[in-house]
Amino acid sequence: MSTQDKDTIIELKSVSKRYGFGDAESYALRNFDLTVKRGEFIMIMGPSGCGKTTLLNIIGLLDQATSGEYYLAGKNVARVSAGKKARFRAKEIGFIFQNFNLVPTLSIIENVSLPLIYSGYHKTRRLHMADSILEHFHLREREYYMPYQLSGGQQQRVAIARSLIASPSIILADEPTGNLDSRNSHIIMEELKEIHSLGNTIIMVTHNPALTTYATRVINMLDGEIDTDIKTVDDSELPRGSKNEKVTIKVLPTRDPIQMEISSESDVVVSGENVTAADDKADDKKDDKADEKSERKGKMPLEKAGTVLKSVVENALKKKSDKSKKSKKSQSKSKGKKSTKSTKKEAK
Ligand SMILES: Nc1ncnc2c1ncn2[C@@H]1O[C@H](COP(=O)(O)OP(=O)(O)O)[C@@H](O)[C@H]1O
Ligand SMILES: [Mg+2]
């Protein structure tokens, strides 16, 4: 049984990952304990081969521990089926990798829409959502490019857009700036900072000690174990929506230009239910059907569009009001939230 409270999103108990047997036996992780609260931004450091990637892969359900317990949002996920893991992963976990891991044969927009395959949305809807999120990352003009046609920094921003599109609860990033120059690293870190400030949980592996300033907690690993674990921000200070609520953006697809509504809805870490419920698949199918039905009627709110959009909109609104404050200081009345289009300069 899990002992965790509502604010705990991840709990690893004595997790080990063993490779090989007998003389060839080695441990990538050894009796690893870790409790992660919602809203933490954890940086994991440590020498090459100490088990950082193994840890992220186990947390992200890409890999399975040899022994130990793993609770994700209160549910024991250590032994669920591969199919459920895949669905769960697509809905609740966003991955960002060092080498971007875009599918080379798919266009940018198709890459970004990939995690929505499990969402039950029609392809048109998925592409529409990908288009929206790419616009907010200032990559819309390139959405029909192929990955090789983009710079490393751009590819990583595409990967971030992809990691966010299904509104995951957790972002896992394995050396996301490892292949980028310092300017692009900075851009990526600022994006992650924004995502974190909305109350999202981020676990990131890095070799760059300078980046730990972004973290609320820094864990140093050594030989598959925790060497040091330092929280720089108290749990009570972690960013989160009001009491287990996360703010999402609803993109209303029928309007043009796209308008956004910021709404608050309870923090459905869909996670739990879907993973453990016996009639999971049936339920999901029902949900999917209902989604499609209401989608056809044009009623389906895109609450899956990603909490990140909130920050983008807020930024845009803030910049807009800053701008209008500057240019029309004498006019005290703002014209209001007519457009939510971001004014953020494109970072190349
Ligand atoms: N598929 C595998 N088979 C055997 N050993 C592996 C495998 N994957 C990782 N390891 C070993 O596990 C240890 C931890 O690897 P990894 O998690 O990739 O470390 P890090 O990301 O910290 O560099 C290393 O010693 C590595 O050689
Ligand atoms: Mg690694």
User: Domain spans of the chain?
Assistant: 37-65+79-237
> Measuring CA to CA, which residue among 316, 308, 275, 276 is closest to residue 118?
275
Find the mean pLDDT for residues 43-48: 97
DSSP of 87-118? HHHHHHEEEEETT----TTS-HHHHHHGGGGG
Centroid of ligand 2 to alpha carbon of 52 (angstroms): 5
Centroid of ligand 1 to alpha carbon of 42 (angstroms): 21
pLDDT in tens, 293-325: 444 443 333 333 344 444 444 454 555 555 555
Find the mean pLDDT for residues 19-28: 93
DSSP of 134-193? HHHTT-GGGTTS-GGGS-HHHHHHHHHHHHHTT--SEEEEESTTTTS-HHHHHHHHHHHH
| pLDDT for 57 beyond 60 | yes
Centroid of ligand 2 to alpha carbon of 54 (angstroms): 7
Q: Ligand nearest 221 Cα, by number?
A: 1
Q: What share of the chain is helix, strand, coil (3-state, %, to 5)?
A: 40, 25, 35
| pLDDT for 15 beyond 80 | yes
Residue 79 binned pLDDT confidence (cut-offs 50, 70, 90): confident
Q: Ligand nearest 45 Cα, by number?
A: 1
> Measuring CA to CA, which residue among 252, 257, 265, 264 is closest to residue 300?
252
pLDDT (0 to 100) of residue 247: 32
Centroid of ligand 1 to alpha carbon of 70 (angstroms): 20
Atom of ligand 1 nearest to the CA of 50: 22
Least confident of 9-13, 152-156, 199-203, 238-242: 238-242
Round to whole Å and give the CA distance between 2 and 236.
21
Residue 2 CA from chain centroid, whole number = 24
Q: What is the four-CA torsion angle of 90, 93, 94, 97, rounded to 10 degrees?
A: -100
More confident residue, 28 or 241: 28
Centroid of ligand 2 to alpha carbon of 97 (angstroms): 10
| pLDDT for 52 beyond 90 | yes
Residue 30 has, within 13 A of its CA and on its CB side, a CA count of: 11
| pLDDT for 5 beyond 80 | no
Q: Ligand nearest 59 Cα, by number?
A: 1
Least confident of 122-131, 137-146, 236-245: 236-245
Q: What percent of the chain has a predicted confidence (pLDDT) above 70?
A: 68
Find the mean pLDDT for residues 191-217: 93
- ∠ at Cα 44 (43, 49), nearest 5°? 155
Q: What percent of the chain has a predicted confidence (pLDDT) above 90?
A: 53
Nearest CA to ligand 1 atom 7: 19
User: Which residues line ligand 1 at a C-beta cut-off of 6 Å?
Assistant: 19, 28, 46, 48-54
| pLDDT for 225 beyond 60 | yes
Find the mean pLDDT for residues 133-162: 95
pLDDT (0 to 100) of residue 199: 85
Nearest CA to ligand 1 atom 27: 49
- For ligand 1, mutation pick of 17, 18, 30, 53 (most atoms within 8 Å of CB): 53
| Cα-based distances in Å from 278 to 64, 144, 257, 274, 285 | 21, 40, 42, 9, 13
Atom of ligand 1 nearest to the CA of 221: 22
pTM: 0.72
Which distant-in-sequence residues (6+ apart) come within 8 Å of 116 by Cβ? 90, 126, 129, 130, 165, 166, 304
The fold of the 37-65+79-237 domain, in CATH, is Rossmann fold (3.40.50)
Q: Which of 79-83, 115-119, 150-154 has the highest mean pLDDT?
A: 150-154
Atom of ligand 1 nearest to the CA of 46: 22
Residue 305 has, within 13 A of its CA and on its CB side, a CA count of: 33
Q: What is the four-CA torsion angle of 55, 58, 60, 61, rounded to 10 degrees?
A: 170
Centroid of ligand 1 to alpha carbon of 52 (angstroms): 8
| pLDDT for 256 beyond 80 | no
pLDDT (0 to 100) of residue 98: 93
| pLDDT for 169 beyond 50 | yes
Mean pLDDT, the chain, integer: 76
